[in-house]
Every structure is written in C-alpha cells, then in structure tokens.
A and B are shown apart, each in its own frame.
Chain A
C-alpha cells in the first residue's frame, strides 16, 4: 500500500490514537472495500496462527442507531460487510429485521438467528385470566432472581410475580428487582424503626408503579390506540410502520414466536391500558 494506514501493522502494533486511526482507515479504504476486507482477512489469519483459534468478531450496539442509519449500513454496504472471510456476529434488535428491505438484504448474505423473548403463555392463553404459565420458563428466570436476591429478603411468590411482570425480558426483570430494593431502602429511610422486612406485595406494588410510569413516558398519548389494537389482535395493523417498530424497539410491544410470530404488550404496558379502560 502506498498511501494511508497499514491496518495490519496497526493491529499488530499498538492500539493507540484510535480516533485519528479511524479517520485514516476511512480515507484509505473508502474507495476500495476489497482492500479493506483483504486486510481484515490477513489480521484474522495472523490471530489464528498465533493463537491456534478460529476468529469470531462480534459487532454490538447497532441497536443504538436510528432505523434509517441501520438501513443504510445494511442496504448500501451489505457486500462490504460480509466480504471478509471470518465469522461475524452482528447483534441487531428485532425491530430492524421487521423492516422488509433490510430483512431481504440480510437474509441473502447471512443466517438470521432470532433470539426470542422468553415466553410464558401461548398465544391462545395469553389473555386468558388465571391461565397457567409455562412453568419451565418461569422457573428459569426465577432462578436468576434467586441468585441475585438472598432468600430471606424476598417472598417466594413475589419472585414469581416479578418474573411474570417482566414479560420475559431479562433486563426488565432486573430493573423490577432493583426498583424493589430501592423501595425497601426508601422504607428504611422514611421509617428507620421498621423491623426486619422482606420484598412483599406492598413493596412490589410501589416498584411496579414506578416502572409503569417510566414505561408510559415514551409512549405518548397518540400511540395508545395502536397498542390497544395490537393487544386485541396479537398483531399491529401494519408491522412495518415506523411507529410500531419504535414501540417494539422500546419494549412496549414484545414479539413472541410459535409457528408464526405474534405480538403482545409488555405486561406493565398492558396494565397502563387497562387503567385507561382501553383494553
């Protein structure tokens, strides 16, 4: 290479001056993506021979981008992205592959593996009162809570409620647990003489209230109708509309998988709609 940066020497050298380096990479390879992927192949080969291991690259954080930006990355650069001869895992949010054009670019060049949300109910029983949840799945998430919260600090049936209220989303389950702990600390702060207590119904109710209000904020009043319709039909009127994809991205709507896909509201969002008599 006559100009610009030598990617290979850079990686085998020191990883400093990252910002300047990025600019140089852009300048050098902007017009010649094939050179770029050759360089990546060389680096991978070097790592393989040095370590005796195969190389796996994980590209995370694409979910932070606006849908429009993700679109241009995958649609306009699909060849470049998949040209190096190494294994790459891109983590992308479900809302991205629900965009038909991106989906077709991706599916032609890669294998899409869907990591669905943990499901507690089948579509048939999802809105049935007193329906029995899928116990194996509940137990799996319950174990995570049990590992994080000592037994003497939480009542067992509360763990189950927390799991079910998470809608199967791990991060939101952790959020609820964290909120419960904050509520306990608040109680101790307001009433320092309270004897030993556990995370119970009262604490959970306060935690749920706080998280539910946080869910309400980004939804905005205009989207409640769309949510109500999604709830009633297990699918939105238009699964490709930007409005719906944003709700999916924000976890107000969750996607579940059976033989076909179906959608449901996050339990706390369903709760919001129930309070407004919309469902």
Chain B
C-alpha cells in the first residue's frame, strides 16, 4: 500500500467514504467517488481496500465494459464469479472505467456514455438484488453528465465524495510525433505512434472562443471544419481524447454538409487517431480506411502517407505484423515520393518496431539508425527520442545491456525535456525491465511504479498496462502474492479493453499459476 498524503478536504472526503462503507457493508449503498487524477484514485482505492480488509470486509473490483456499458451487467458478472458476494458476506465493490466510455456517438445511435446513463436510469431497481455498497468512480465531467442524464439514479445516491488532485489537463506536450516502444517480459513490443498535424499552435482558449463566436454568428460557416479539427488536435496534444473526439465529430459533420472532401479526410483521420490513442484499435481502422479512400481520390500524398502510417500503427498494435509492414512500406514510398523527411523518419522508426516484434533485431537497428539520423538532421526531438528508446529495446533484446541503458537514458532525458509523457512512461518502463534483467530488483520496481504514475497522469491505458504487468512479475518474484494478483488483474482488464488477447491470456495464466 502506498503512503497516502492528503490535504484536509481530501482526507475528510476519504474518511467519509470509508465510514459510509463500514457502516453498512451488507446493504446496497450507491457511493459516487469523483476524481480526475488517476494516480490519486489508485492510491485512495488501495488505501481503503487495505483498511476494509483489516476490518473483515471483502474488497472487489469490476470494470464497465465499453462494449456493454451497464453497471448491472458488470455487477452480475462479478457476483457470478465471487461466491462471497453471493453469500452476502460484508463486502465493497469498486467500479472502474466510467471515464473510458466514449461521450461521442460516432456511427452509433447512442454514445457509450449515453448507453451507460440510460442503463443506470433503468436498472436502478435491479440493483436491489446486490447486498453490498458500490463505489462508482467517475471523472468530474462524467459525474455532472450522470446527474443530468440519469436523474433517477442520481436521486438514489447515498453520497458523493469529491477528490481534488492533479489532473492531466495541465500537462502539455510539445513534440509533434509520438513513436515510443513498450517492452514487457519477452519480445512483445508495441510501436505506439501518431502523427499530429501542427497546423496551429493557437491557444485552446482562443480556439474555443472563435468557435463559440462563429457558431453563433454563422453556424454553417465552412471555417468551422478547420476550427473544430484544430481545436481537437490541440486537445489531443493535452491527452484530452474525449474532448478531441467530440471536436472531430463536429468537424466531420460540417465537412459532410459542405461536401468538403479534404475536411472529411482530415476529420476521419483525426477520429482514427483519437480512437487509437484511446485504445480503441478496432474502432479506429474503418475511419482510417475511409480517410485513405478520400486521400487517394484527392491525390493528397501527405494525407495518404499519414493515413497509411497510422494504419500500420494500428495493425502493429493489434499484433498483425505483415499487414503493418505493408502499410508502413506504402507510407514510406509515398513520403519519399513527395520528399517529406519527417514522415519518412517516423515510418522508418515504426518499421523497425515491427521487425523487433518479428525477432529480426539487426534489421530493426538499421531502420532505427536511419530514423535517428534524419531526426537529428531535422532537429526533431521527439522522433530522436523515439529512435533512441527503440534502439534501447533492440540492444536490450540482443543482450547488450550497457548500450541499451545508455540509449534509454538519452531517450528519457529528451522525453522529459519536451514533456512527452507517453515516451517518458515507455522509457521508464523499459529501463525498469532492463534493471530486472540485471537483477537490480528494487530499482526495477521503482521504475515500474514511476512509469505507472506517468501513464495515469495522461490516463493512457496502454502505457499503464505494461508497467502493471511488469510490476506484477516483480511482486510475484518477491512472494507478494496478493499484490501480484491485483496487478495482474488490473493489467488483464486493460489488455482486454484494448483487445490484446495474447496479453490477456498471459495475465490469466499468471493468475492461474498464483492460485496453484
């Protein structure tokens, strides 16, 4: 359990939550915990669970599924699994993941959030079958929408517990290309890359103001296509994926209304990017494919190179390597045809990552070195950091540990300098892995924890899952079975959300082994 340091207001809210659970651990009680800071949330949960377990109250977790966003369904599934909950033993159930539900509708009739609120409104009576308190964790904006959209459920609340922390909203990111690699136990490598078009560095507040003014004065103005896309991209740089998606969706609607193909292609690619960043890989693919068709019709080579690269990334993340290579190579050809060095450098780095996944390390190193060379010529700090981190991975896998450490440290330094939090999380995780290989376990655990904290700052599941898994392996090694189990469970849940079945199975096998 991590040491909890809380200011007076948070401490009051925390104690009130614990007291509410302790008073009636065998009765349904809807407790709504509101927090935007995932690190603080994780610490709070960790602390109340430890305290409650000591008081003889069983602690359980469940997550809302974005495929079926229903509280009742999540609880039923948990109760089915846990006999103690069926027996009516004192317990508390923590419900996670509400913040991961999409607020935009995309092609659906209702957004995931709307489905969730609707189900809350309608399954309230059905919750009566559960004889335990439920702590539903919600980000602040989701809590507000819940109060508005599910008023009946809201009226049933036994308490709202608000926690103020450091949300990701204040974090900025200055680079323009992300392409880091996360490495776990064996050769599982994930290339995580995204081209963000820096057409504008206008402050967010100005963009918001311009959109508000223009929408009022001229709601059908075609300028809104560009403005919504630009604001979305600005949100995305601050890791505000939900807000970004909402903007892209509006941009797409305006572009369709004006039959603006360029605007549509940009909006579609942007929606794909935000979905990919949000870990919705399957959902991203159709948007990229639609964007690609438009790029081809318009003979927009820049757009094609970007879309092809993103398709490559998505397939790489899904573990479909030959398809990924195919898309990367098409992207590289296009980028070279029009002479965009930055695009080429990025794709080269991503190609390297696929070859690492295929175990062809030397080939990968060649690609990374090419990428690094171009990045340094162009003074693109972010691509440089990516290439360095990736080189670290390749050398690590070749067993050349001191070289690997050197590359990781260089990457980490740049990531911190340009505030690339995703890259920082990856570098910390990878360094942790290396220290584990070297038998320096306390440093390794510490680095995994740091990686976890950075990942939670940006609310990025993918960056969070790997250090969780790695930390679980370490805890298991140290004989901390319950700690290891909870980390495996948490990693498994995220991998499952991300659709990474191999890793889900790996976590399941690890959990199974713990039981035995």
Contacts and interface: CB of A to CB of B under 8 A. Distances in A.
Interface string A198-213: 0000000000001001
B19 interface: yes
Given A182-B20, A210-B159, A214-B160, A64 B152 contact: yes
B122 interface: yes
A95 to B, nearest CB: 10
Interface in B144-173: 144, 147-148, 151-152, 154-155, 157-160, 162
B interface, how many residues as a size bin?
A: 20 to 34
A38 to B, nearest CB: 30
Interface string A31-74: 00000000000000000000000000000010110000000000
A186 B151 contact: no
A182 B19 contact: yes
A156 B122 CA distance: 39
B86 interface: no
A218 B157 CA distance: 13
Contacts of B143: 217
A217 B56 CA distance: 34
Q: Helix, strand, loop or mixed for chain B's interface? A: helix
B15 A178 contact: no
Nearest to B23: A185
Contacts of B162: 213
A195 interface: no
A178 B158 contact: yes
Contacts of A214: 147, 157, 160
A171 B155 CA distance: 9
A190 B15 contact: yes
A251 B154 CA distance: 12
B505 interface: no
B23 A250 contact: no
A63 B158 CA distance: 20
Contact of A218 (B23, B124, B154): B154
Nearest to B159: A182
B125 to A, nearest CB: 8
* Interface majority SS (helix, strand, loop, mixed), chain A: helix
B159 A218 contact: no
B18 A64 contact: no
A129 interface: no
B15 A217 contact: no
A220 B143 CA distance: 12
B152 A185 contact: no
Nearest to B143: A217
Interface in B369-385: none
Nearest to A171: B155
A235 interface: no
B19 A189 contact: yes
B416 interface: no
Nearest to B144: A217
A213 B16 CA distance: 15
Contact of A217 (B16, B19, B160): B160
B152 A63 contact: yes
Given A63-B152, A218-B147, A218-B148, A186 B159 contact: no
Interface in A246-279: 246, 249-251
Contacts of B148: 218, 220, 246, 250
B151 A218 contact: yes
Given A63-B152, A218-B148, A218-B151, A189 B159 contact: no
Contacts, number: 49
Nearest to B121: A64
B508 to A, nearest CB: 31
B18 A218 contact: no
Contacts of A190: 12, 15
Contacts of B155: 171, 251
A48 B20 CA distance: 47
A13 B104 CA distance: 46
A186 B154 contact: no
Nearest to A249: B151
A189 B13 CA distance: 12
Contact of A185 (B19, B144, B151, B158): B19
Nearest to A63: B152
Contacts of A217: 143-144, 147, 160
B151 A250 contact: yes
A251 B151 CA distance: 10
Interface in A180-194: 182, 185-186, 189-190
Contact of B15 (A189, A246, A250): A189
B147 A186 contact: no
Contacts of A220: 144, 148
Contacts of B151: 218, 249-250
Nearest to A206: B12
A185 B18 CA distance: 10
Contacts of A179: 159
Nearest to B140: A217
Contacts of B121: 64
Contacts of A213: 160, 162
Contacts of A182: 16, 19-20, 23, 159
Nearest to A186: B16
B251 to A, nearest CB: 24
Contacts of A185: 19, 23
A250 B148 CA distance: 8
Contacts of B160: 210, 213-214, 217
A186 B144 contact: no
Contacts of B19: 182, 185-186, 189
Contacts of B158: 178
A190 B18 CA distance: 11
B237 to A, nearest CB: 26
A213 B151 CA distance: 15
Given A64-B152, A218-B151, A186 B12 contact: yes
A149 to B, nearest CB: 15
Nearest to A185: B19
Nearest to B16: A186
A48 to B, nearest CB: 28
A201 to B, nearest CB: 18
A214 B159 CA distance: 9
Nearest to B147: A218
Given A182-B19, A218-B154, 15 more contacts: A64-B124, A64-B152, A178-B158, A186-B12, A186-B16, A186-B19, A189-B15, A214-B147, A214-B157, A217-B143, A217-B147, A220-B148, A249-B151, A250-B147, A251-B155
8 pairs of A and B residues whose beta carbons are closest in the complex: A218-B147, A64-B152, A217-B147, A185-B19, A218-B148, A186-B16, A189-B19, A214-B160
6 contacts: A185-B23, A186-B12, A214-B147, A246-B148, A250-B148, A250-B151
Interface of B: 12, 15-16, 18-20, 23, 121-122, 124-125, 143-144, 147-148, 151-152, 154-155, 157-160, 162
